[in-house]
Structures are given as structure tokens and as C-alpha cells.
């Protein structure tokens, strides 16, 4: 008997005539009712997750739109325009001074540029060996050693660039026939104070010359072979001009002319000026005259010249461009007022008009000027507010859709029963429309800007004129309405910033226990300086190495000379130290403290806190590859300046509490500690000195969190990935979905075994029925045979 095997796609009732496959499936589906209920629940939870994710995107859009309002940065946004950008471009910073200004560009700042004389080969010609010293402005000369590894023009160029002294070296090709390669030095920074200084001690080659103007040898490379006379500079030739230029000479007439026999005229021009010289005798100096001659003389050896042929002489002036400061004027240019002239080492002026950066492009002629207008960018502020309203309304629409029920289709939002979402909506609306504590009632609600909540819960700017008026008349109040702010009752305690964790609408007592201090270094007393008893510095005792706030200077060389006052000495040290490349901009202060018959130097850092320090070092050293120490510079002025046993005092960080809660000090900044109940993230700058501290409360800071700041806190509590209420709810729903999947999988696993069991039983039934049917047929056949036999008998 054929029997359908277990696991096949169908079982036919061969013996029973039953559709056993359908019977098994009916039984399984009946017993799978609980799994279907779980699947419906899974689908519902998945729909809720999708709905929450869509709403989360809307909340995040509001968070982005409120960012600039909450931080207050948009309220400082300014705009500025120049009437002619070819002369002057402008960039508005924060809080640009409102107004219209007349500006003239009087002079552009320029970088100092020097060039050497020409060399025939930048690689093959040696410049000699020795030392090449270079510096910018008041900085100490930096020594570059020139040896067999770098004694070419290219090698010296690379050595200068690698020295990082504020100068960029390059090699240019001036296009001349011979000696066409020049070493060019360009100061990295413009300004009168950034002049390049060199001191060259090279022997055994042709050292570059950056100081002496001269003429190059005449070039006759275009002469034909018929010209046998050789042109050279006259013995008295000495360039007296200041401009690099080329003198072009043309032999007048045609044909071959013999020097000493023919009178030969050469016409010359330098591109601007022109003239002629007459060559009548060989080896006799001929002198150019008139404008542009600049001391040029020539002489020609015996031989011939050819009419129409040309020679040229190039002049060399080392100064390609003098350094200069930029200069502009602000004020009337029509003679009706007295403009202010402003000087800058660059072509950018950041302080000429408060909050506006001016960049000069080219100079004005007489009577020319540009008009610069500046002011608050109210349109940008308005756009930010309108963007916020739009994003806010998107959230309200999305949430309301989830709480809706369509009677006709009998469809409801996936989150219609979600109390968590209802709580989110309530806090979201409240943070936007509630009054801001601590502000004047005239401007502590969005409604004071003409923004009102509608019947459907959405916001609408119903009175644009009111918003425009507040933008124009009360930008500070508008900023407070949206951003976080704080007011201190003491100028020396200044609010800097806060975080979403800081609680607003409260006043906090500030108790400073330790004032921040700066590092200082006090030398030992030395005899008072005077005309009769000066302090003499020379090359044996005039170098210093200072370490300021962790940064070590290069070797600082003080000007040699006799110092007749301590103040003069302190000024020289401060000037040289602050010009050092490593310490520039750090604001080191050096002073002389006069005593009775003696005095001492005092060095002070301009920074505050534990990283503020200053000291004089003995030497600069570097560790070599074998681990040994190589001393690269030694200070020689420590003894004469009283620095051998100077007293070093490092700075101290501010310390104290805010609202009685712990705070961390760094420099002058005091910040509320993490997890503080009220003051977490509140940052204050404490400018109190030790003598100004009092017992107990040193000041009171009142913190206000405006609508934007408050909403940012609310939104963080909703969408924060770790602990936001929406994030937690979605995480919970995902856990439910995963649990439901596991339950369904377990049920289906059990039912699969149940299916196999039923199929096995039905198979066995079919087999039994088959056997019974076979036996029945056999018996019927046997009985039939017996009956036939019985009848025949």
C-alpha cells in the first residue's frame, strides 16, 4: 500500500478517503489562536514604534530650530556692507556698532621682501660656508649653519625655510642670460615692525648679498659674430637707484663699425627714461646722463660693433618691497571733519568699527572713500523665530494626528492611548508658552512678541509689527526671553554660560574661598642702576631663556649696552621676550621694583591658575638618538640679572561654591560640578583678588532660562538617547516586540512538533485501514470461494 511519507506537502486519504492534510492544518490553526493574538500585538507595537520615530524627528527639528535662539548667538548676529568691495570688504562679527561710516584706505600693509644678486646655477654654485643669521623685527637673530651639506643657493633656501624664523625663502629666475637665479626672502607677516635682518659670514664661495645695490655685467648674447668688441661695466659704475630695471642699448645705424675709427652711438632706454652715449675710443669709460642713468657707465674693448644689434644691463636693488603698516581713516572725507587715522600691521582692521572687520584691498585717491553700514541683523533673528514656530507646529500636528479617531473609517492613531506621549505634549507646550521666571512681565511671554497660541494648540505670529518693534527697540530683552542669561550683583563675578542641567529662575550665592592668581618669578636684588653705576650687557652676558606657562623660548638676546635704570632694563627684557616666536602673544609682564639702594626684576604671567608659571632656564637641550643630551643654547644673563636663585611662585586656581554646591575652578573659571541639584554646568568668571574676598557670600547670581533654553531642556528630556522619555518608551516597545517574537517563535515551534505528531498518527491510521481493507478483501474473497464450492456440491 502506498503511504504518503511524513513531511510531504500533502497526505491523501487512500484508505480513509479523508483530506487529512486539511484536517491537520485546521487543528494547527485552531491551536495557534494565541500566536495570532501575539502577532496582532506585535504589529500594533511596531506601528507605535514607527509613529514614535516620526514624532521624534519632529521634536529633533524643533531642537535644531531653537538652537541659535536658546544659545543667544542669533541675537548678536550683525550685518555690514561696503559700498565698494574693490577697495574695502567688511565682515560683521557679534554686536556690530550700528551706524554708517566713511572709510578711506590710505596705505596698504606690505611684507618686507629682499632679493640677492644673481647666480648662474642654484645647485652648482657654492655660497661658501660659515653662518647665516636671520631675524624678523625685534626678534633675536637665529643662526643657520652653512656647511658642505647646504652650501648652495638651493641648500640655503631650504635651511632658511626649515628654521621657521618667520621668513619664506624662494629662488626666482629673472630671465636674464647669465646669473639669472636670485634668492628671495619674504617676511611672512606684513607691517613696519616685521623687517628682515640678516648677518652673513660665509667664506669660500659667493655669499648672497641683500644690502648692496649694483649693476649686473652687460649681456651681449644677441650680438652677431661680426661684433668683436667686448662690453663691460665702467670702473666707476655704481648703482644709485632704488628700482630693479633693465637698460636696453641699441647700436645706431647699420653695418660694421670699428671702435676708435668710427664714432659709434648707442641709444638706451630703461623703459621709462632714454638717452644715448657715444663710443669713440676703446677701453674708455662712457657715462649715461640724465634721468634714469643712476650711475651706469660702460666701456668697450677694441674691435667692432654692428649697427642695429642690442645689449642689455640689469640693475640690482635688493629691496623688492619695503615693509609698511596699513593705514585707513574713519570719518568725513569732504573736509567737514577730522577723520581718525588707524594703523595696522596687516590689511585687516578689527577695532576700527566695533564688531566689524575691515579688509583693505587697494588705496583710495584724493576725494575717494567707501561707505560702511553696520547694524544688527534683525531679519536673521526674525527668520530664526519663524523657523521655530514652523517646527513647533509640525510637532503639534504630528501629535494631534496620533490622538485622532476617524469615525467614518473607524481608524485611530497608533498612539491614541499613549499617556507618555500626552505627557510629552503637555511639557512641550508648557515650555514654549509659559512665562519665563525672573523677567519683566512686559516681556516674559511669547505673546509679548505678537506670537499667540491658537485654538488647535499651534503658534502663530499674529502681530508682526510687535515683533519688529521689539527687534528694533529691545534686542536685549528679546534675547533674555529666548536664551539663558544671568545677572550678578558684583561686576567681578561674571556669568559665562550654563547647560541644560542648570536650574533657572533662581538666585545663587557665590562663596569664593580662594582667588585665582598668576605665576610670578622674583629675582634677587641687584644694585640700583644709574648713570654713574649702569648695568652693562655685552655678548658675554646678554642672553636669556624663559619658560612661560609651559612654553620654552628660543635664546633671547638682549641689546648690548649700558642700562642706567631698572625700568629701562625691564622694558628691554619684556620687549625681547614678547617678540620671541615661542612666547609671542603670551603677554609676559616684566617690571622693576625699586628699593633702597637696590632693586629687583619681577616676571609675571598674564594667565591665571595652575598652568600659569614663569621661570628662567639655564639652557636649552635636546635628546639625541643615543639618549645623550645635547645643549643647543646657554643663557648667560642669569647671574647679572639676579636670576640664579630667583623665587618661583606658580599660579593657583579659583576655588569656592555656588549655592552651597561643589564647584571646580580652573584659572579664573568656576563651574558647577556634574550632578549638582541646581548648579550643574553653571560657569562663572571670578575676577576677585585675594584682598577682595569676604567671609561668606561674595556675590549673588540670578539665573534665567528663556523660552529657547527651557525648551532645549524639555526636548533633551524627551529625545535624549540614554534617558529621554520618548527614547525610553521606544526602547520599551522594541523590547516588547522582541519578547513577542520570542513567544510566537516558541508557539510555532511547539505547533510544528504537534503537526508532525498528527501527520504521523494519520499516516499510521491510513496504514491500519489499508491493512484492514486488505484483510476484508481477502476474507470476502475466501468466503466467496467457499460459497461457490458449497453450491457446486
Which helix H or strand E contains 700, and what residues bound it?
A: strand 699-705
Q: What is d(CA 367, CA 281) in angstroms, rounded to the nearest whole number? A: 56
10 Å Cβ neighbour count for 216?
A: 21
Nearest to 352 by CA among 343, 363, 364: 343
Q: Which three cell numbers stand for residue 259?
A: 671702435
pLDDT, mean over the chain: 91
10 Å Cβ neighbour count for 34?
A: 11
- 12: pLDDT confidence band, cut at 50, 70 and 90? low
The pLDDT of residue 167: 96
Which helix H or strand E contains 772, and what residues bound it?
A: helix 725-792
Q: Which three cell numbers stand for residue 328?
A: 585707513
DSSP state of 324: B
The pLDDT of residue 793: 57
10 Å Cβ neighbour count for 762?
A: 20
Total residues found in the chain within this entry: 793
The pLDDT of residue 759: 83
Q: Model confidence over 202-240: pLDDT tens digits?
A: 999 999 999 999 998 999 878 888 999 999 999 999 999
- The answer to whether the CB of 285 falls within 8 A of the CB of 278 is no
Q: What is d(CA 515, CA 655) in angstroms, rounded to the nearest whole number? A: 7
- The answer to whether the CB of 141 falls within 8 A of the CB of 135 is yes
What is the three-class DSSP state of 511?
Answer: strand
Per-residue pLDDT, averaged over 556-564, amounts to 94
DSSP state of 449: G
User: The whole model's pTM is what?
Assistant: 0.61
Domain 113-209: assigned CATH number: 2.60.40
- The answer to whether the CB of 613 falls within 8 A of the CB of 623 is no
Per-residue pLDDT, averaged over 21-42, amounts to 89
Q: Phi and psi for 21 in degrees, rounded to 5?
A: -65, -45
The residue written with cell numbers 621668513 in the block is: 167
Is the model's pLDDT at 62 over the cut of 90?
Answer: yes
The pLDDT of residue 2: 37
The pLDDT of residue 9: 44
Beta-carbon contacts of residue 456 (< 8 Å; ≥ 6 apart): 396, 400
10 Å Cβ neighbour count for 397?
A: 13
Q: Which three cell numbers stand for residue 787?
A: 460459497
The pLDDT of residue 8: 42
Give the least confident one: 297-311, 314-328, 767-781.
767-781
10 Å Cβ neighbour count for 550?
A: 8
- The answer to whether the CB of 726 falls within 8 A of the CB of 422 is no
- 629: pLDDT confidence band, cut at 50, 70 and 90? confident
Q: What is d(CA 485, CA 231) in angstroms, rounded to the nearest whole number? A: 82
Q: Model confidence over 694-739: pLDDT tens digits?
A: 999 999 999 999 999 999 999 999 999 888 999 999 999 999 999 9
Q: What is d(CA 621, CA 276) in angstroms, rounded to the nearest whole number? A: 63
Amino acid at each position: 500500500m502506498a503511504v504518503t511519507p511524513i513531511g510531504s506537502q500533502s497526505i491523501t486519504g487512500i484508505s480513509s478517503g479523508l483530506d487529512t492534510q486539511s484536517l491537520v492544518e485546521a487543528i494547527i490553526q485552531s491551536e495557534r489562536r494565541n500566536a495570532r493574538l501575539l502577532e496582532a500585538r506585535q504589529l500594533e507595537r511596531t506601528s507605535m514604534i514607527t509613529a514614535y520615530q516620526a514624532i521624534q524627528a519632529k521634536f529633533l527639528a524643533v531642537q535644531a530650530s531653537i538652537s541659535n535662539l536658546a544659545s543667544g548667538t542669533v541675537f548678536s548676529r550683525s550685518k555690514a556692507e561696503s559700498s565698494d568691495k574693490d577697495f574695502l570688504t567688511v565682515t560683521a562679527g557679534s554686536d556690530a556698532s550700528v551706524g554708517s561710516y566713511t572709510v578711506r584706505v590710505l596705505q596698504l600693509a606690505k611684507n618686507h621682501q629682499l632679493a640677492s644678486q644673481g647666480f648662474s646655477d642654484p645647485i652648482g654654485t657654492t655660497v661658501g660656508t660659515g653662518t647665516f643669521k636671520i631675524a624678523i623685527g625685534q626678534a633675536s637673530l637665529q643662526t643657520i649653519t652653512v656647511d658642505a651639506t647646504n652650501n648652495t643657493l638651493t641648500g640655503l633656501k631650504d635651511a632658511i625655510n626649515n628654521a621657521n624664523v618667520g621668513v619664506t625663502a624662494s629662488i626666482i629666475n629673472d630671465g636674464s642670460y647669465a646669473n639669472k637665479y636670485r634668492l628671495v626672502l619674504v617676511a611672512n607677516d606684513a607691517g613696519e615692525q616685521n623687517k628682515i635682518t640678516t648677518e652673513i659670514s660665509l667664506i669660500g664661495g659667493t655669499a648672497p648679498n641683500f644690502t648692496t645695490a649694483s649693476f649686473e655685467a652687460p649681456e651681449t648674447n644677441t650680438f652677431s659674430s661680426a661684433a668683436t668688441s667686448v662690453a663691460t661695466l665702467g670702473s666707476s659704475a655704481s648703482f644709485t637707484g632704488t628700482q630693479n630695471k633693465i637698460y636696453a642699448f641699441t647700436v645706431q645705424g647699420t653695418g660694421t663699425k670699428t671702435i676708435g675709427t668710427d664714432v659709434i652711438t648707442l641709444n638706451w632706454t630703461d623703459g621709462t627714461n632714454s638717452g644715448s652715449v657715444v663710443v669713440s675710443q676703446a677701453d674708455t669709460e662712457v657715462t649715461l646722463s640724465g634721468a634714469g642713468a643712476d650711475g651706469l657707465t660702460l666701456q668697450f674693448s677694441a674691435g667692432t660693433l654692428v649697427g642695429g644689434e642690442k645689449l642689455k644691463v640689469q640693475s640690482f636693488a635688493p629691496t623688492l618691497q619695503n615693509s609698511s603698516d596699513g593705514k585707513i581713516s574713519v570719518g568725513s572725507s569732504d573736509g567737514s571733519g577730522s577723520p581718525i587715522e588707524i594703523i595696522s600691521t596687516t590689511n585687516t582692521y578689527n577695532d576700527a568699527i566695533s564688531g566689524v572687520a575691515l579688509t583693505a584691498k587697494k588705496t583710495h585717491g584724493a576725494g575717494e572713500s567707501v561707505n560702511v553700514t553696520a547694524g544688527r541683523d534683525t531679519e536673521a533673528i526674525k527668520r530664526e523665530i519663524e523657523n521655530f514656530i514652523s517646527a513647533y507646529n509640525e510637532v503639534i500636528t504630528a501629535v494631534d494626528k496620533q490622538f485622532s479617531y476617524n469615525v467614518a473609517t473607524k481608524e485611530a492613531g497608533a498612539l491614541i492611548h499613549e499617556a507618555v506621549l500626552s505627557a510629552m505634549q503637555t511639557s512641550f507646550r508648557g515650555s514654549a508658552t509659559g512665562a519665563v521666571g525672573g523677567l519683566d512681565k512686559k516681556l516674559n511671554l511669547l505673546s509679548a512678541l505678537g506670537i499667540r497660541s491658537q485654538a488647535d494648540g499651534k503658534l502663530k505670529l499674529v502681530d508682526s509689527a510687535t515683533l519688529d518693534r521689539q527687534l528694533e527697540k529691545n534686542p536685549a530683552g528679546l534675547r533674555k526671553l529666548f536664551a539663558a542669561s544671568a545677572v550678578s550683583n558684583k561686576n567681578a563675578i561674571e556669568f559665562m554660560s550654563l547647560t541644560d542641567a542648570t536650574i533657572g529662575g533662581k538666585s545663587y550665592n557665590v562663596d569664593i574661598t580662594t582667588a585665582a592668581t598668576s605665576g610670578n618669578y622674583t629675582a634677587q636684588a641687584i644694585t640700583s642702576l644709574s648713570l654713574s653705576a649702569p648695568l652693562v650687557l655685552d655678548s658675554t652676558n646678554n642672553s636669556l631663556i624663559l619658560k612661560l606657562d609651559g612654553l620654552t623660548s628660543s635664546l633671547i638676546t638682549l641689546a648690548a649696552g649700558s642700562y642706567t635704570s631698572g625700568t629701562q632694563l625691564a622694558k628691554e627684557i619684556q620687549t625681547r621676550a614678547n617678540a620671541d616666536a615661542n612666547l609671542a602673544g603670551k603677554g609676559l609682564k616684566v617690571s622693576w621694583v625699586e628699593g633702597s639702594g637696590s632693586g629687583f626684576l619681577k616676571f609675571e604671567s598674564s594667565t591665571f591658575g595652575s598652568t600659569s608659571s614663569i621661570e628662567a632656564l639655564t639652557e636649552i637641550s635636546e635628546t639625541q638618538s643615543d639618549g645623550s643630551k645635547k645643549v643647543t643654547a646657554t643663557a648667560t644673563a642669569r647671574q647679572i640679572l639676579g636670576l640664579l636663585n630667583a623665587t618661583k611662585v606658580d599660579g593657583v586656581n579659583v576655588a569656592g561654591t555656588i549655592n552651597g554646591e561643589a564647584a571646580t575652578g580652573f584659572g579664573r573659571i568656576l563651574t558647577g560640578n556634574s550632578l549638582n541639584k541646581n548648579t550643574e554646568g553653571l560657569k562663572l568668571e571670578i575676577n576677585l583678588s585675594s584682598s577682595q574676598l569676604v567671609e561668606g557670600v561674595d556675590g549673588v547670581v540670578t539665573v534665567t532660562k528663556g523660552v529657547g533654553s527651557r525648551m532645549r531642556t524639555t526636548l533633551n528630556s524627551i529625545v535624549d538617547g540614554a534617558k529621554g522619555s520618548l527614547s525610553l518608551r521606544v526602547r520599551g516597545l522594541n523590547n516588547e516586540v522582541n519578547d513577542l517574537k520570542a513567544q510566537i517563535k516558541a508557539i510555532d515551534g511547539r505547533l510544528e512538533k504537534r503537526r508532525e505528531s498528527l501527520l504521523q498518527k494519520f499516516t499510521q491510521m491510513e496504514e491500519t485501514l489499508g491493512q484492514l481493507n486488505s484483510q476484508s478483501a481477502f476474507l470476502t474473497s475466501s468466503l466467496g470461494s467457499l460459497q461457490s464450492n458449497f453450491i457446486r456440491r
